[in-house]
Amino acid sequence: MADGAVVSTFDPYAVRAQFPILSRQVNGKPLVYLDNAASAQKPRAVIDALVATMEGGYANVHRGLHTLSNEATEAFEKAREIVARFLNAESAEQVVWTKGGTEAINLVANGLGLSIQPGDEIIVSEMEHHSNIVPWHLLRERRGAVIKWIPVKDDGSLDMAAYADLLGPRTRMVAVTHMSNVLGTINPVAEISRLAHAAGAQVLIDGCQGAVHATPDVQAIGCDFYVLTGHKLFAPTGIGALYGKAEALEALPPYQGGGEMIETVEQDRVTYARPPHRFEAGTPPILEAIGLGVASEWLAQYDRAAVQAHEHALYQHAVDRLQGETWLRVLGQAEGKGAILTFAVEGAHAHDVAQIMDRYGVAVRAGLHCAEPLAKRMGVTSSTRASFALYNTVEDADAFVDALIKARNFFV
């Protein structure tokens, strides 16, 4: 596939054939992998790229003058350029490699924290993943920051009127998810950014789900920071990226100290590199970054609207088949939501439901989904989640419903 070429028609079966793991069986049944919101599987293109680099082109980057180092550096920095295009960033220098979305958020929170004064406010929403809650709690504990919460409505959408009322002269940061990992809600992140900037606050968007299943156009969103993680984006674990506006990154102090992030080191002074290298201390995740670049380019070949329509059709097919089942409660039904089906089964614990479904080869997630405040808001102690990806098929959706009904029958 040439750079920039887009597949004109979307064929989920052709996509599925590119994922070796999806041909295996689990408990004697064909694998139906619906745990994509936790971590996605890897296509042959990514697997082959990692193997090829390890077999024929690996060395440490930036610091060598030999051929292997130059080749590895070129592939490493090309991956940064690919991710910048994927996010529609203005420049590759606005993309910082991190070990994942969690580290990216911590990087921003740590930098902001050095200037936080007691009483300064951080706004998050009730639907946030713990990775976009706990770093701000650290600022509450250590710097006296105040955390304010955007309410979630009964349908799973954000209360935007309440959000507007929360903004004030002490608001320093608004940190919200692009797409909820539990509800599937796709938030109006451009409007969230506009209102925050009007109040003089910065905006961080957690795009760990949105980068995969929504539209991660950072220029259209207008955010100061956008976070993604590789393992949900069909790339390896241990890699993520932080996009920042040029002026926002320049204003951040270093997060960690070591090699690569410096200009000079003397006995009595240190000067630091400019972004992005200022935030990339030590030997970076070279193979993982190359894998993320390949995964981003692989995903970009497919028409995003067609992929979203396919994923939503699978979600809707499952919901339609379960329509009228009084023992099932679906969490999150906001208009335009992504293809995440999170639910509670009357009289059954979510963990038991997931384990029984696994007997039929269906992989789903159960628990709090790293979103405990949201579970409390929705009135559940745990829930089960099926999350669809572009390689899932209508047969997967049917197998999910069949397994769920069988699981429910264990408790009748």
Which range among 3-12, 209-218, 261-270 shows the weakest confidence by mean pLDDT?
3-12
Place of tokens 């921003």: 108
> Residue 284, preceding bond cis, omega within 30 degrees?
no
What was the pLDDT predicted at 7? 57
Predicted structure pTM score: 0.96
pLDDT at 6 over 70: no
What was the pLDDT predicted at 4? 58
Beta bridge partners of 343: 330, 384
What was the pLDDT predicted at 1? 45
What was the pLDDT predicted at 2? 45
Average pLDDT over residues 369-395: 98
Task: Please say whether the beta carbons of 198 and 170 come within 8 A.
Answer: no
Torsion angle of alpha carbons 119, 122, 125, 130, nearest 10°?
-110
pLDDT cut 90: percent of the chain above it: 97
How many angstroms from the chain centroid is the CA of residue 284? 20
Report residue 305 as tokens.
């609207």
Q: Structural domains in the chain?
A: 12-30+303-409 (3.90.1150.10), 49-300 (3.40.640.10)
- What confidence tens digit (pLDDT) does each residue in 222-251 have? 999 999 999 999 999 999 999 999 999 999
Give the HSE-up count for residue 9: Cα atoms under 13 Å, Cβ half-sphere: 3
- What confidence tens digit (pLDDT) does each residue in 118-153 have? 999 999 999 999 999 999 999 999 999 999 999 999
**Cα 243 to Cα 88, 153, 315, 329, distances in angstroms:** 10, 29, 30, 37
- What confidence tens digit (pLDDT) does each residue in 324-365 have? 999 999 999 999 999 999 999 999 999 999 999 999 999 999
Average pLDDT over residues 370-385: 98
State the pLDDT confidence band at 3, using cuts at 50, 70 and 90.
low
pLDDT at 16 over 80: yes
pLDDT at 308 over 90: yes
- The closest alpha carbon to 140, from 116, 163, 124, belongs to 116
- The closest alpha carbon to 390, from 306, 329, 278, belongs to 306
What was the pLDDT predicted at 412? 84
What was the pLDDT predicted at 170? 98
Report residue 351 as tokens.
């963990």
Task: Please say whether the beta carbons of 363 and 412 come within 8 A.
Answer: no
The continuous run of DSSP H or E covering 2 comes out as: none
- What confidence tens digit (pLDDT) does each residue in 37-86 have? 999 999 999 999 999 999 999 999 997 789 999 999 999 999 999 999 99
Q: Which residues are catalytic?
A: 370
What was the pLDDT predicted at 296? 98
Average pLDDT over residues 25-44: 98
Distance CA 282, CA 169 (A): 38
pLDDT at 21 over 70: yes
pLDDT at 99 over 70: yes
| CB contact set of 322 (below 8 Å; sequence gap of 6+) | 328, 330, 401, 404
pLDDT at 8 over 90: no
Mean pLDDT of all residues belonging to the chain: 96
